[in-house]
A and B are shown apart, each in its own frame.
Chain A
Amino acid sequence: MLSSKDNYMYEMIRTELTDAVGEEFVGTGNADKFGHSVDYYWIPEMWHDRGMPTPKPDFVVHPGSAEEVSKVMKIANHYHIPVVPWGGGSGSQGGALPVYGGIILDMKRMNKFIGIDKESLTVTCQTGMIARHLEWRCNKEGFSTMHLPASIACATIGGFLAHRGTGVLSTKYGKIEDMVMSLEVVTPTGEIIRTLPVPRHASGPDLTMLFLGSEGTLGVITEVTLKVHPEPEAREFRAYIFKDFHTAMSAGAELMRSRLQPCAIRLYDEEETIHHVRRVFGMELDKGAYLVFGFDGPADIVECQMRRARAIMEEKYHGKDLGSKGGDLWWQNKYKFFYPPFMFHIPQAFGTLDTVATFANIENVYHAMKKVVNENFPQARFIGHFSHWYEWGCMLYARFIFEGENVPEDPAEAAALYNRVWDMAIRAAIANGGVINEHHGVGLKLGRLMKELYGPAMPVLEGIKKQLDPNNIMNPGKLGFKGI
């Protein structure tokens, strides 16, 4: 819209923005604009790889406070300029991409650590703080957020709130939405609001939950109070190999039904087990499914829970015990495989089809997704693991991978192939009781499927969006909401 600097309107708006946040915090340089045109979504990466231009913002604004965010929102509303919050850009769904140009609101300057309330065990910070920095800061005082995602080093707390992210200890400590006490939010029209100070109440519907998962479409989350936990006295892991995936899934589900409190459970399907045990343990297997779990807390309670969990694994499901070393190695390597060269990368085409369903449905979801990928895209590999477990079900972290030679060189064809896999696999999940996504969000990538998932409930979401954002300036075209 304003993409030409020759248009004097560009300078008019830049002047207003600099008045709001300061000259040095309004970027208009090519490097910064480029940096915000590619996030962790495969399509812009592939687009750049093929030498194609990626949609750029007109301005990159770095607000330093909620008040500054508010001023920016008011300017944007006045001129109807799209505003896209950007945390670390590590989102895999294209949620932070400035597809209609406009303003990128890079939140990383809002990185203040506000403090720990040691009586209530909560921590308050601005949302542009990188999760690793927050965790380090809490660790220094003997606490942990227990939010330990693989992207801890690169994503902001705001990004996790906006996507309902999750970490490796979610089975005990919850996803980020379970960790939140309250939020400060700047609405699309520039009001600064706070949600209620506590997450459990009977004082009307829960506004906090409305903004969690809203992916920058309903407002800018500027501050958060999260729960923190003392560093546990003990944390122990144990790993097993089961004869097949179904047996391992039954054992994992039984562990959750037992109401013991594992901090983590991870189960690899048979394909991923072969690969995983080879690279982590140097072990050759031709079948079986690897399951690892752990407990943390006071040492005697960990010991007791571990004993009872082992009985489930060994006596009821006859798992082959890899011992605590088999579990510890998994824990020690939990981030390693997200680094190059281990992580999938272009020229491969790959995607994480994460979904979640009840124990009654999850195996069907897995098989349906796998079948649809295998049958329709025989050139792709499908692997999966189950990494976040609840009392009622678990999350499937499925992946499809095309080797480079199977990915069209033409970028439009490559994108079309990619989208077809997503459409088919996600529809298979939804048809079997799954949802579009469990913790990576919807973004640009999956917005088109939101109407199918929500059905007649979608207009409710659209109504909320319209009420909060009458000019449709906040991250338009994402989360299934209309574009410009």
Chain B
Amino acid sequence: MNIDKYTDAIKNCRFCFMCRHLSGIGNVTFTEADTPRVRASMIYGVTMDPEKMADKDFIDTLYRSDLSRACCFHCVNHYDENSLNIAMRTDLVEKGLAPDYAKAIAENLKSSSNWEISGAAEVLYFTDRYTLQTGTVAPAFDAIMKKAGINYATVSGGCIGRALKVLGFAQDAKAAAEKFVSTVKAAGAKTLVVSNPAAYELLKNDCAEFGIEVPFAVMHTSEYILSLGLKAAKAAGDIYYLESDYLKNYNDNLPFPRQLLAAVNANIKPFGTNNEESYTCGEGAVLLPEIDETLVAKLAAYIADRADDPANDKIVVASPYTKIFLSKYTKLNVATLEEVVAEVL
């Protein structure tokens, strides 16, 4: 089984309480089941009795995890309950036990993939569905590129694999990733820039796991824009930066978002009470809104509750996903990194 790769997480998390305070979903549902301890413990139960896999409640509990990976980042020995959860989902899919909602989402992702490239350029910008949905992130990136005088093309048209992987459809995820990588390769791009941290994760880490070679540089917009060395015309001022799950917890605290904010003279104020909880509305799970949007609304409300001055604070996020759902469910004033930079150039 796929979970066999994570026996260390099963063994160590199953009776461990030490990261429960960072359990994003647990903190809004208040249930014990929504903690790494209980999920790992139930998966341990499956190793003893595979029949337990078919329990609907067990399956739903796994699928409503926000997969923030805050627990793994916090953990002294970085046990990876997050990947264990995804491995268990993969086992469920392989055994034909995936819930109907996951199957329907996966079907939709697979059938709607149709890659389009806007032209030829060394730099390709990936506009995924969340980036496009904001309506503001791609234009902000475009403004920055114009200012820098760099020609670029865009690639868009579907799921590159992360969402499928997270849902447990590993084979489909690999196929989607392969298709995307070959599309970008065929376009002759040297650098692929992504705004969505989930795409960054797929290209940086999942592809390696799938054995897919990525023959071009992959950069998150924060890293790429920073590399342009643009000078801000005015200071970005006081902001609160909410970390991305993917850039922080999955990628060892990638420094570029904060460096970029510093480069545009932002004064980053500490948000809430700590920098450990995930304040992303479930970015790690990619498609949590399609599984249960009420949970996303609760995660958003949890974040808003922690703002110093919700009506006036300027919240900056790295993830278009977080911008969409924080804006949808709270009155917070949210901008992405691209938007902040475009505004001060």
Contacts and interface: CB of A to CB of B under 8 A. Distances in A.
Contacts, number: 110
B15 A29 contact: no
Interface string A433-447: 000000000000000
A339 interface: yes
Interface stretch (B71-79, B110-118, B189-197): B71-79
Nearest to A112: B305
B16 interface: yes
Contact of B31 (A35, A48, A88, A345): A35
Interface string A195-208: 00000000000000
Contacts of A342: 76
Interface of B: 11-22, 30-33, 35, 38, 41-42, 44-45, 48-49, 55, 57-58, 60-61, 75-77, 79, 272-274
Contacts of B35: 35
Contacts of B12: 340-341, 345
12 contacts: A29-B60, A30-B55, A31-B31, A31-B38, A32-B32, A34-B38, A62-B30, A89-B32, A128-B30, A154-B20, A340-B76, A342-B76
Interface in A121-140: 128, 130, 132-133, 136-137, 139-140
Interface in A80-129: 86, 88-90, 106, 108-109, 111, 128
B31 A62 contact: yes
A277 interface: no
B77 A341 contact: yes
A49 B32 CA distance: 18
Question: Which 10 pairs from chain A and chain B are nearest by CB?
Answer: A35-B32, A154-B17, A340-B12, A136-B273, A339-B76, A31-B33, A29-B57, A35-B38, A108-B30, A31-B61
A89 B32 CA distance: 8
A342 to B, nearest CB: 7
Question: Which has the most chain B C-beta neighbours within 10 Å: A153, A342, A345?
Answer: A153
Chain A: interface residue count, which band? 35 or more
Nearest to B39: A31
A345 B15 contact: yes
A316 interface: no
A36 interface: yes
A282 interface: no
Nearest to B58: A31
A83 to B, nearest CB: 17
A155 B13 CA distance: 16
A407 interface: no
A30 B42 CA distance: 10
A213 interface: no
Nearest to B49: A51
Nearest to B76: A339
Interface string A179-202: 000000000000000000000000
A468 to B, nearest CB: 27
Given A154-B21, A340-B79, A31 B273 contact: no
Contacts of B22: 153
Contact of B20 (A38, A130, A346): A130
Nearest to A132: B21
Given A106-B31, A106-B32, A136 B274 contact: yes
